[in-house]
Structure 1
Amino acid sequence: MDSSPQLIILAGLVIGLVYGAVGLLSGFCLMSSMRGWLSEGDGRLVRTYALAIAVATTASQFLAGNGMVNLGKSIYLQQSFSMPVLFLGGLLFGYGMVLSNGCGSRALVLLGRGNLRSFVVVVVLAIAAQMTLKGLIAPARIALVRASQTTVNVNSLPSLLAMFGPAEALARAMAAAVVVVTLILFAFAHPAFRRSPGQIAAGVVVGLLVAGGWFVTGYLGADDFNPVPVTSLTFVAPIADSLQYAMLSTGLTLNFGIATVAGVFAGSLVTALATGRFHLEGYSSPRHMLRSAAGAALMGIGGVMAFGCSIGQGLTGVSTLALGSFVAVAGILLGTTAGLRGILRVQPFAVA
């Protein structure tokens, strides 16, 4: 169908605006979810995250099953990938997320609320990600990937199930059903979550935003003469691209990811101002700033190695049912857990 780059950018901006508003009002964040669950005994936020994955997977697989979006064109369903690098990147990202007290998307949301600590996180994350994508760290990353990557015919849960006989459509439905039902049961088994309509709504909306991103880039952007990358919500590379675009806009082109990043910040800012939540915050000490910046650097490096962040892999990647995404998410969860529990636990700073 006919596509318009301006329409893709506008849609990315709208998706970002909604995500920014929902993220601010609900506190949607994997790190906060894990901290509440593991350290504070509050499991509501992690159930919100689980519900978002379930909704994103259901809607994304519906689009793919009906031929509206070819998820195979996304970066998550490649035939060649390195499981060790994906897992290591997830570990670095997860631990960095605890050091910085939130992921890249959460930093954008908090920045819109006036959190100046998040400004440091966003800038350092962007620089570290660009260094890993194209700069000083890139040769080491590429060498590591080449030394450990494998080429496989089975790169997703549906293709794995199809090896045992079911047709492609049935395998897709079965794999999606197992993931979605498990996550929904986990979410709604928690009484406090069932009594939290705001958290339920947040999970549903964020999940639909992921599917919306696939629809925008995979259906509206399906133009053989002027194609756009098939992608959805993810933040490490787009934050890096946004910083580069801010500095070199005359030599670059706006894309879905940059528009989404701008939308998240704007959505959070408008919501914070409208609800009286905007207030400036800073670091409590130089050590606090140093640790936060170190965490941001780990997130930038790890997010590139893992092909995504807690949103880019945890929601968008998993919605494709890619095996590599589950490997990356396992690393993110383990890295986050190490930062919250055990001998590597990160001690919280008092904030200003």
Structure 2
Amino acid sequence: MESSTQLVILAGLVIGLTYGAVGLLSGFCLMSSMRGFLAEGDGRLVRTYALAIAVAIAASQFLAASGMVDLGKSIYLQQSFSAPVLFLGGLLFGYGMVLSNGCGSRALVLLGRGNLRSFVVVIVLAIAAQMTLKGLIAAARITLVQASQTTVKANSLPSVLATLGLTELPARALATAAIVFALILFAFAHPGFRRSPGQIAAGILVGLLVAGGWYVTGYLGADDFNPVPVTSLTFIAPIADALQYAMLSTGLTLNFGIATVAGVFAGSLVTALATGRFKLEGYSSPRHMLRSGTGAALMGIGGVMAFGCSIGQGLTGVSTLGLGSFVAVAGILLGTAAGLRGRLRVQPLAVA
């Protein structure tokens, strides 16, 4: 294995370890954030998420503007994409996230804490994602994409501004500044969030981890003879790849995503043991297991269709300012909101 590839894998492991620890200590999760914001009236966690997005955008766009990382090589800035499939995938993922009580990354964190329900979520999500990527559902997904995709000249907010006459750097700076300012204003307008240094630190750290992933794969991994895909934190395809690697490691190779998945689990496990938070938990009823597994399947299918999850699109994709990412995130938010409120609300399970 080439030295640059080894460095990328090691860095992915470190990023995953850090995310696992931060995720366990802070409760970082989009579903929990929206539940608190929409249903419980506690807006601190959603502010943490907003701050993480702001930091991820600012740091990632700085790397791109300085020429250190070419975000255009990522999957989020393609010239052709299917907005309907991205949105539908986001809807499925968001609703599935409510059914399973957390996204894929949160399931990895909770699994490290001893939550055996999350083991089922991770396995079912991985199988459903692999089926949608390469298996029985792949043909239908590809057909939908081919029937609805469009080719655009402007595939990001900076490129949209460039069509209005701005040059590249001013367009990037204006788009970045406007979104980052709005997100930071939203985050720190909440008094409870301003009094929560742990949540502030979590938002900053997660945002920097996204930029760190771009730096590792886009700069340290930029080997002309053995390049690695330019990517950052995302969990749908990597969880599927990690399960496949665990079963069929002979002939397969480690990559940044698999190392990150392993790191998140290990980081959460070590942190849980060190802080006394480790506790074995299971399902309360067969119905509970069925609901959780159904949500995991929806997340696996929807996450592949949407090109990412609440982290892969909600943070990493949005950090590129790609238009497709905003479409996917809109679907995720709407699907999550539908599961938390309204006629399609997921009802609480009765305690057995």
User: TM (normalized to structure 1)?
Assistant: 0.99
Q: What SS is found at the alignment partner of 1:164?
A: coil
- CA distance in 2 between partners of 1:351 and 1:337 (Å): 24
- CA distance in 2 between partners of 1:288 and 1:251 (Å): 38
Q: Deviations over 1:261-312 (max 9, x none)?
A: 0000000000000000000000000000000000000000000000000000
Q: Deviations over 1:15-65 (max 9, x none)?
A: 000000000000000000000000000000000000000000000000000
Q: What SS is found at the alignment partner of 2:248?
A: helix
**Given that residues 3 and 220 in structure 1 are in contact (C-alpha distance below 8 angstroms), is that contact kept between their aligned partners in structure 2?**
no
Equivalent residues in 2 for 1:5-24, closer than 5 Å? 5-24=5-24
- Could you tell me how far 1:4 is from its partner in structure 2? 1.4
- CA distance in 2 between partners of 1:350 and 1:53 (Å): 36
Poorly superposed stretches of 4+, deviation over 6 Å: none
Q: Which amino acid in the other structure matches residue 59 of structure 2?
A: A
- Could you tell me how far 1:349 is from its partner in structure 2? 2.6
Equivalent residues in 2 for 1:108-147, closer than 5 Å? 108-147=108-147
**Given that residues 3 and 221 in structure 1 are in contact (C-alpha distance below 8 angstroms), is that contact kept between their aligned partners in structure 2?**
no
Equivalent residues in 2 for 1:155-170, closer than 5 Å? 155-170=155-170
Name the structure 2 match of 1:27: 27
Q: Which amino acid in the other structure matches residue 290 of structure 2?
A: L
**Given that residues 127 and 240 in structure 2 are in contact (C-alpha distance below 8 angstroms), is that contact kept between their aligned partners in structure 1?**
yes
**Given that residues 59 and 211 in structure 1 are in contact (C-alpha distance below 8 angstroms), is that contact kept between their aligned partners in structure 2?**
yes
- CA distance in 1 between partners of 2:131 and 2:273 (Å): 35
Percent identical: 87
- CA distance in 1 between partners of 2:193 and 2:3 (Å): 41
- CA distance in 1 between partners of 2:79 and 2:160 (Å): 13
- Could you tell me how far 1:348 is from its partner in structure 2? 2.1
Name the structure 1 match of 2:102: 102
Structure 2 residue runs without a partner (length 5+): none
**Given that residues 3 and 222 in structure 1 are in contact (C-alpha distance below 8 angstroms), is that contact kept between their aligned partners in structure 2?**
no
- Could you tell me how far 1:350 is from its partner in structure 2? 5.5
Name the structure 2 match of 1:274: 274
Q: What SS is found at the alignment partner of 1:154?
A: coil
Q: What SS is found at the alignment partner of 1:284?
A: coil
**Given that residues 234 and 311 in structure 2 are in contact (C-alpha distance below 8 angstroms), is that contact kept between their aligned partners in structure 1?**
yes
Q: Which amino acid in the other structure matches residue 8 of structure 2?
A: I
Name the structure 2 match of 1:309: 309
Q: What SS is found at the alignment partner of 1:38?
A: helix
- CA distance in 2 between partners of 1:212 and 1:351 (Å): 42
Q: Deviations over 1:65-124 (max 9, x none)?
A: 000000000000000000000000000000000000000000000000000000000000
Q: Deviations over 1:127-173 (max 9, x none)?
A: 00000000000000000000000011110000000111111000000
- CA distance in 2 between partners of 1:284 and 1:344 (Å): 23
* Residue 50, structure 1, aligned to residue 50, structure 2: yes
Name the structure 2 match of 1:222: 222
- CA distance in 1 between partners of 2:251 and 2:133 (Å): 18
**Given that residues 284 and 350 in structure 1 are in contact (C-alpha distance below 8 angstroms), is that contact kept between their aligned partners in structure 2?**
no
Structure 1 residue runs without a partner (length 5+): none
- Could you tell me how far 1:351 is from its partner in structure 2? 6.8
**Given that residues 69 and 214 in structure 1 are in contact (C-alpha distance below 8 angstroms), is that contact kept between their aligned partners in structure 2?**
yes
- CA distance in 2 between partners of 1:342 and 1:211 (Å): 36
- Could you tell me how far 1:251 is from its partner in structure 2? 1.7
